[in-house]
Amino acid sequence: MRNTTNTKTTHPALIFWIVAGWVGFLLLPWYGVEDGILSFEWLIDGYPFDEDYAPAAFLIAQGEKLWLAPLLIPLVMSLAALGRPKSDPLYAKILLLTGALGFGWLTAQGFGIGIRGFNFEWLKALFGELGDRQFGMGFGAMVLASAFLFIFTQGVAARGAINGDVFVVSAIGGVIVIVTTFVFFPIAKMLLAAFVTEEGSYSVGVFAAKFFDDRLWGLGCLSGGRCGVAWNSLFLAVLVGLLTTVLGLVFALVVTRSGFRYKRALRALTVLPIITPPFVIGLALILLFGLSGAVTQFISDLFGVQPTRWLYGLPGILIAQVLAFTPIAFLVLIGVVEGVSPSMEEAAQTLRANKWQTFCTVSLPLMRPGLANAFLLGFIESMADFGNPLVLGGNFDVLSTEIFFAIVGAQYDQGRAAVLAMVLLFFTLSAFYAQRAWLGKKSYTTVSGKGDAGVHPMMPNGLAVPVFVIAGAWGLFTIVIYGMILYGSMVELWGVNNTLTFKHYVTAFSVRIEDSGIRWTGAAWDSFWTTIYIAAAAAPLTAVVGLITAYLLTRQTFAGKNAFEFGTMLSFAIPGTVIGVSYILAFNVPPIEITGTGLILIISFIFRNMPVGVRAGIASMSQLDKSLDESSLTLGANSWQTFRKVILPLLRPAILAALVYSFVRAMTAISAVIFLVSAEYDMATSYIIGRVENNDYGLAIAYSTTLIFVMLSVVGVMQLIVGRTEIGRRMSQSRTNV
Amino acid sequence: MNKIKRLLIPSLVAMVASVTAAQAEKLTLYCSAQEDWCQLMARSFEDATGIDVNMTRKSSGETFAQIKAESSNPKGDVWWGGTGDPHLQAAEEDLTEPYVTPMRGELHDWAISQATSAGDKTIGIYSGALGYGYNTDLLAANNLPEPACWKDLLKPEYKGHVQMANPNSSGTAYTTLATMVQLFGEDEGFDFMKGLHSNINQYTKSGSAPIKAAGRGENTIGIVFMHDAVKQAVSGFPVKVVAPCEGTGYEIGSMSIIKGARNMDEAKKFYDWALSTDAQNLALEVNAFQVPSNKGADTSPSAPDMSSIKLIDYDFKTYGSSAERKRLLQKWDEDVSTLPQ
């Protein structure tokens, strides 16, 4: 890989990819192996001649799947580049042509020929019926596709793009291809599904009929009836966004601008929403405020009022979501509130503004970016939330649950689901856009190199009192709710028999020691282990993709960088239900056929959580001075070596943060997962939802509590490791060599 | 880097280990009965035959949707449990495989007629009658009279106390709708649903949720299958079961083999086994109070006695068909669900 300057011998990376291409074509099974490539059952079961396991070359030799034969042309052509110097203009041309031809043909045949022969009418019209079919691509196809892709990027590099840097060009190419495949392609497929009629043809009329449906946009609630789901969702999300922002600000003010002692405990609150399975709060609310809830009963006994079902519907969802998402707003706002430099406030006070004037005219306006971000997050989280509306919704339907029931309901209307998903996506993207427009291009930078007192002024008293009351009340409420969750997992039968028991834990997590070893007899073990395994597999991959993207965004400049950034961050604005629906539509059929596998879960987690990895990477990389890279490059290292040996080690905290975050999110995600789980790969959250739907609350809460503790310990262990990681250059040698 | 390796290696090891483990004969089971019953069936079949079972529990509507979505490339082998309509619908849409089991001699007539009406693509495994249950404590606390008939539920004093599932998402609720149409005639049946609508406090998504909510005191009256209500009463909740005086419809819980199943032999083995007395006696272990289809299987003393309930002559063929189902659901959506409550 050291050959960016060497022009005599062939680049080893090129040799590697050409060899990989041949291996993919000649040796690896071309189509997906049902039991997974790693089971190696295929090796003894008729390989290499059996059609199910044969590599492409053997298929063609046996006269089957002849449409794969043209792939040989670019493969052979690539050999012509070997031995040519990089400066030879032919070198780049060969590579570009090889890569483009190979990748293009591979994609074209994959989409053109599916499980029922030709996929398009015009192909049938042109060539007649094919009389053959193909299943989803497997390992061979994947390796060959990667080979063509990276041969192509090396061609681009040889043409002089990004100073001929092979690593950077390849990384950009790789990220673009996977983001296109796993974000844009499914979304496009879903948008298309909104136009499909029952007979399978496309029509705008179908879309219009579904889009202008009264159930979506009806305004009946203004006159006593029911409103459309779109309005419901929008109204709820705006309320949740506003309330969480206000509450988040209240907590941030308590921590930064008051004499409050237990600030660390408050900060610990920020971990809660990340480790709480999404519907547990809803359950706890029912146990407290439902028709027969503890609080409801107490109040009705005390005042003699008739208990009602007020919780089910907008009030319940609102309370649950505000509880769940306030810590997120707090997390966002605390950084911003701290970041407002005291010097500005000091200046205001020197100019004889009183505390109120300072707060209203200086501090608050400077917090605008934080307020906008907090609102945006609350808005999007509320739009995407699936668990709480499912449990507490009553007759108040929102988009995320409607999408789910359009797919799973007896009417089975994928088109309607797609239309609903489009509306949801429109709302979240608009919120993104509105946030940017509101912040505008004003400068909010207040931290400069100049010294200041470093102490924030206290809040004015008129503000401090309500802030403390609200923060105290809400904090107490949160503690009660979590206490309830713990208590609820340990009572026999809530509301009927309140004796304490570990019964639910035993049902879920019992083990039996037998002669043959431990037998996991508890009902929850299957989904528990699957969840751990999927989360553990997804976390490192998320971190890798996220950090490479962050590296490209902070350290490299290239054409189309803004579009690149938008594309990689897009999946953050896409709600999980939308991802779930679009993955089902896109990946249940060849060429990429991965529904029902663990792989689809892993992939969905990678792309759901990637933006966080990217953000974490960008944040810490922009703290590393560019002179570090430059000195490494000047000393003769190429960009890959610089990335690996200089930047990566300095990024350890960011890597760990990305790892923990994606691991924990993978354990608590529900909205996308519920569409993608299968018999073999059932996840904890979808198992718990199943228990909740059956009103088996004891088991559901016991399982959730266990998950909370598992994740707490994961976060705790990681905090310990991060806490000890020191990245300064003045540390003693022994400690930096961890 | 070392830390990453330390994290990566266990996950890789786990990945390899888990994929190499699955080598033996296996079966993918889609189960639409209650979770513990599904678990018990899967584990017992494993114990009886040594075939590995992958089981997913989803409601019958969800399972039907999944089988339909996967029809060009089936992932499941057997679909066991859940109300019969979606099974009949699947048979009609040619999503399931015809199979004539040697066990037929041991079965009740209603189980076999379910099979013949669908061209042998499905078969009855249990049956249960529709009815409702109420929470006795809540009824007393609200000073409400005890209901005994369907039409009692229309009384204004029950406003906000009745719960049923949404027929769009639940087979149980669709059976309720179809029963009313057959019991009272289409016009009067829909009038009944409209009257009921103004008393309903929530349309739940899952079929048995209303009675479970009633058991926990979150709701007063739940329209469900009687065996679901019996189960709540047996588990200690203050629930009383009602067999409506006008007569009522019933479901035949069914089983089908999915067309193009990847493990066809194992699927047939499961099919035969699930109809045996041994397999059907398992129901009582998990408090499933349906009537089993094998004549020799045990029934619980707590189970509703089918002979004492006035059953209508439920037309599974007509009301299980896609077209009729779609028509009724659409009519319900347009005429009933949009009414103010």
User: Taking residues B160-168, what's their average pLDDT?
Assistant: 90
Structure tokens at B75: 């992932």
Helix or strand run (H / E) with residue A63? none
Helix (H) or strand (E) holding B257: strand B250-258
- Please, are residues A11 and A35 in contact by the beta-carbon 8 Å criterion? no
Confirm whether the ipTM is greater than 0.85: no
User: Does the distance separating the beta carbons of B29 and A679 come in below 8 Å?
Assistant: yes
User: Helix/strand/coil (H, E, C) string of A508-546?
Assistant: HHCCEEECCEEECCCCCHHHHHHHHHHHHHHHHHHHHHH
Residues B133-156 have a mean pLDDT of 92
> Cα separation of A47 and A40, whole Å?
10
Other CB atoms closer than 10 Å to residue A581's CB: what's the count?
A: 27
A496 to B30: CB separation less than 8 angstroms, yes or no: no
Query: Do the chains contact at A309 and B160, CB–CB below 8 Å?
Result: yes
Residues 6+ apart with CB under 8 A from A26: A55, A56, A57
DSSP label at residue A361 = I
Instruction: Give chain A positions within 8 Å (CB) of B215.
Output: 496, 695
Give the C-alpha separation, A672 to A688, whole Å.
15
Domains, chain B, ordered by start: 25-127+251-303 (3.40.190.10), 130-250+321-336 (3.40.190.10)
Q: Please name which of A141, A154, B121 lies closest in space to residue A162, comparing C-alpha atoms.
A: A154
The values of phi and psi at residue A369, to 5°, are: -60, -40
Query: Higher confidence at residue B121 or residue A347?
Result: B121
Task: Count interface pairs A-B at CB distance under 8 A.
Answer: 176
List, run by run, the mean pLDDT of 10-residue segments along chain A (738 residues): 49 87 89 69 73 83 85 88 83 90 90 77 79 79 92 88 85 91 89 77 79 78 76 94 92 80 73 77 87 85 82 91 86 77 80 83 82 86 86 86 75 78 88 75 56 66 83 85 86 75 83 75 84 90 88 84 80 80 82 82 89 78 79 85 83 78 83 78 85 78 90 80 53 37
Q: Does B71 touch chain A (CB under 8 A)?
A: no
pLDDT band at residue B14 using 50, 70 and 90 as cut-offs: very low
For residue B7, the model assigns a pLDDT of 45
Q: What is the CA radius of gyration of chain A?
A: 29
Task: Please tell me the distance from the alpha carbon of residue A201 to that of residue A511, in angstroms, as a whole number.
Answer: 53
Taking the Cβ of residue A660 and every Cβ of chain B, the question of whether any pair is shorter than 8 Å is answered with no
- Confidence category of residue B272, pLDDT binned at 50, 70, 90: very high
Report the candidate in A391, A237, A234 with the shortest Cα–Cα distance to residue A312: A391
Q: What crossing angle do the helices spanning A280-289 and A314-339 adopt, rounded to 10°? A: 120
**How is residue A441 written in tokens?**
């291009």
A-chain CB neighbours of B69 within 8 Å are 584, 588
pLDDT number for residue A440: 61
CB contacts under 8 A, B 261-280 vs A, are 262
Q: Which residues of A touch B338 (CB under 8 A)?
A: 214, 220, 225-226
Comparing alpha-carbon positions, the chain A residue that sits nearest to B29 is A679
Report the relative pairing of strands B250-258 and B96-97 from DSSP bridges: antiparallel
pLDDT band at residue B193, thresholds of 50, 70 and 90? very high
Interface of B with A in 238-257 (CB under 8 A): 238
For chain A, list the domains and their CATH numbers: 12-159 (no CATH), 232-439+460-488 (1.10.3720.10), 525-736 (1.10.3720.10)
- Two structure tokens written together for A143: 């390796």
Report yes or no: B81 and B313 within 8 Å, Cβ to Cβ. no
Query: How far apart are alpha carbons A407 and A412 in whole angstroms?
Result: 5
| Structure tokens belonging to residue A708 | 């909370």
Instruction: Tell me what pLDDT residue B18 has.
Output: 41
Instruction: For the full predicted model, state whether its pTM sits above 0.90.
Output: no
Asked if B44 is an interface residue toward chain A (Cβ–Cβ < 8 A), one would say no
Kindly report the number of other CB atoms within 10 A of residue A534's CB atom: 27
Instruction: Using a CB–CB cutoff of 8 Å, tell me whether A584 touches chain B.
Output: yes
Give the distance from residue A495's alpha carbon to the nearest chain B alpha carbon, in angstroms: 7
Q: Is A213 in the B-facing interface, judged by CB distances under 8 Å? A: no
Residue A452 is predicted with a pLDDT of 55
The partner residue sitting opposite B329, judged by closest CB among A291, A410, A648, is A410
* pLDDT interval class at B155 (50, 70, 90): very high
Confidence at B273, pLDDT banded by 50, 70, 90 = very high
CB B294 within 8 A of CB B107: yes
Token pair 């349906």 is at which residue? B290
Q: In A66-177, at which residue ranges do the beta strands (DSSP E only) sit? A: 113-114, 117-118
> What DSSP character marks residue B221?
E
* Strand B52-57 with B26-31, pairing: parallel
Q: What angle do CA A664, A668, A669 make, to 5 degrees?
A: 110
Asked if the Cβ–Cβ distance from B15 to A496 is below 8 Å, we say no
Report A:481-520 residues touching B (Cβ under 8 A).
Answer: 493-497
Beta strand pairing call for A117-118 and B78-80: unpaired
**B331 shares contact with chain A (CB less than 8 Å):** no
